[in-house]
Structure 1
Amino acid sequence: MQNTVKKMITVAMISTTMLIVSGCTVRLSEESFIANDKEPVAFSTEFTQALQQAMPDHVITQLSLEASDHVKLNGFFIDNPNSNTTLVFYPGNGMKIQPHCLADLTALSALNTDILIMDRRGIGASEGKPRIHNIILDAQQQLDYVQQQYQPEKIILHGYSLGSFIAADLARNNKIDALVLHGSATNADDWVDEKTPWYMAPFMTLEMPEDFRKTDNKQVVAQYYQGPLLVIAAEDDEEVPPALSEKLFAASKSANKQFIMVPNIGHQGMLEEATTMQQYQAFITEL
């Protein structure tokens, strides 16, 4: 997972792109940036059994939802019988439920909430070709499904890395009870600035689709979302430098906001750190 994300972000977005374009203009395209599998791969029985073994008190249901353009999206609803709070988890770029999400889902299950997780279109068990705008439409449809089908008392949106842009965009227009931005950047421009060597910055211009610029986490927390906010960053994160998460936290106008800096860890494994999850649990308990 780590090598995949590094390749997608660092190599495709900076090194490779700069080599194939003329001059010093970086053109960031959805095709080159958003990970996409050739064909969907169904969840295995062994993986579903591993999920159940990791959280034996939960009822695990495999979901298949049809998007507005008839693309089939697959994932799981993990039901905690003692909870009426649903946490919707949006994974990072190239992150498939199987095999990448078992550790994170196991950690999140300790929060005593229900969990919805779907492979986004074009990755893992889900069909389709991903674009920013249809990924967000899919996520809105899934959120509507949770509200109608399960009618939770509280909804928490948790976005990791690229998934944080989906969670924040939904928080802009939906009534939710908490937003968790985990390993998150402020926006695409800041992200590229942080990843660009200082000696190249004066000679570079950045071109990107408008949909990339519209998904701006900093703008959301500064102007649109003022509910409970938890920001989780990693001290040694080289893929999404923690300075970007600090900027997000500083920009937030929320009266209830918390920041967790996970020490001695990179982009992967933040939720496997015990103190982080204790603080996460305390945040949820106060909602």
Structure 2
Amino acid sequence: MKSLIKNIFSGAVVGCMILMTTACTIRISEDTFIVSDEQPAAYQTDFVVQLQQVMPNNIITPVSIDASEQVRLKGFYIDNPTSDTTLMFFQGNGMKIEPDSLSILTRLSELNTDIFIVDRRGLGASEGQPRIENLIADAQLQLDYLHQHYPTNKVIVHGYSLGSFIAAQLVKTNSVDALVLQGSATNVDDWIDEKTPWYLLFTRIEMPEDFRKADNEQVVAQYYQGPLLVIGAENDDQVPAELSEKLFDASQSEVKALIMVPNTGHQGMLDNAHAMSRYQAFVNNL
């Protein structure tokens, strides 16, 4: 998740001149919070070549999914011929497959699973205007597409940052073999509490109701009880490590693990060799 809240808060200081004595309201809309592009951009051949170079034994297939509002979602299915497990990866806010995901896809390929990744609506190569409601519906379409076109023995759903909320909502109503929440908050209210500077204590922050309905803590505490892996970073200034720990503690899963990556911020968690070793062990034990 990008430092959008920080920027919004900075602007709010200008609008609320006397915060210590006067209440002020910041209204955050889906349009301002969810990063989107003006128009989709097709994947470049050079990028696909780079993908193939970092995972030469895999078969990389472009995918196109018809979604609501006559929108087409674009992405890739990366087939590891030795695997019967597919990892569905949901990206962070503003994170495109090209050019942002080459590094993380390289790391995920080390798990020796198939990988299914789609640019979310309104970003990268995918069309449309994103809202929380249609992003969740699109995730269901992606899972249905996976089962229809690429039947697999096991499905791991991995959500990073904003993508963790989409991932959690998907497993709330679908049976999967494992859930991975990386750089994830418990819910939007906890996140706002952690990110609100002291000088905005008299400020009320209004978020769309759909944001509050997407509650990761509620999902792992009440709905999802399968294998869970929570990955956080000690120096994460976007989603404080305390929220990853709170999410892990709330989980009712019998099989669960928490990886807290040292000396790392919101990005680069999977660049840590020890974290990837533990991730691999988690996958191997499914």
- TM bracket, shorter-chain basis: over 0.9
- Does the 8 Å CA contact 1:157/1:178 hold for their aligned counterparts? yes
Normalised to the residue count of structure 2, the TM-score between the two structures is 0.95
Could you list the per-position Cα deviations for residues 90-120 of structure 1 after superposition, in whole angstroms to 9, with x for gaps in the alignment? 0000001111100100000010110000000
Which stretches of structure 1, 4 residues or longer, exceed 4 Å deviation after superposition? 17-23
- Does the 8 Å CA contact 1:40/1:123 hold for their aligned counterparts? yes
Deviation at 1:210, TM superposition (A): 1.0
Counterpart code for 1:205? R
Closer, same or farther: CA 18–144 of 1 in aligned 2, 3 Å? farther
**Percent of aligned pairs with the same amino acid:** 61
- Does the 8 Å CA contact 2:23/2:204 hold for their aligned counterparts? no
- Does the 8 Å CA contact 1:17/1:27 hold for their aligned counterparts? no
Normalised to the residue count of structure 1, the TM-score between the two structures is 0.95
- Does the 8 Å CA contact 1:40/1:124 hold for their aligned counterparts? yes
CA distance in 2: counterparts of 1:9 and 1:152, whole angstroms? 39
Could you list the per-position Cα deviations for residues 64-91 of structure 1 after superposition, in whole angstroms to 9, with x for gaps in the alignment? 1110221011110000001111100000
Counterpart code for 1:60? I
Question: Pairwise mapping of residues 58-137 of structure 1 onto structure 2 (< 5 A)?
Answer: 58-137=58-137
- Does the 8 Å CA contact 1:10/1:239 hold for their aligned counterparts? no
Residue 16 of structure 1: aligned partner: 11
**3-state SS of paired residue (1:116):** strand
Could you list the per-position Cα deviations for residues 34-76 of structure 1 after superposition, in whole angstroms to 9, with x for gaps in the alignment? 0011111111000000000000010000111110221011110
Q: Which runs of 5+ in 2 are unaligned?
A: 17-21
**3-state SS of paired residue (1:61):** strand
Closer, same or farther: CA 275–23 of 1 in aligned 2, 3 Å? same
Deviation at 1:279, TM superposition (A): 0.2
Residue 224 of structure 2: aligned partner: 225
Structure 1 position 275 matched with structure 2 position 271: no
Q: Which runs of 5+ in 1 are unaligned?
A: none
Closer, same or farther: CA 143–280 of 1 in aligned 2, 3 Å? same
Deviation at 1:251, TM superposition (A): 0.4
- How many residues matched? 281
Closer, same or farther: CA 199–19 of 1 in aligned 2, 3 Å? closer
CA distance in 1: counterparts of 2:118 and 2:12, whole angstroms? 30
CA distance in 2: counterparts of 1:114 and 1:161, whole angstroms? 21
CA distance in 2: counterparts of 1:179 and 1:65, whole angstroms? 23
CA distance in 2: counterparts of 1:234 and 1:206, whole angstroms? 26
CA distance in 1: counterparts of 2:236 and 2:67, whole angstroms? 34
Deviation at 1:25, TM superposition (A): 1.3
Counterpart code for 1:58? N
Closer, same or farther: CA 33–10 of 1 in aligned 2, 3 Å? same
CA distance in 2: counterparts of 1:198 and 1:241, whole angstroms? 16
Question: Pairwise mapping of residues 1-287 of structure 1 onto structure 2 (< 5 A)?
Answer: 5-6=2-3, 8-12=4-8, 14-17=9-12, 19-20=14-15, 23-201=23-201, 203-287=202-286
CA distance in 2: counterparts of 1:45 and 1:250, whole angstroms? 44
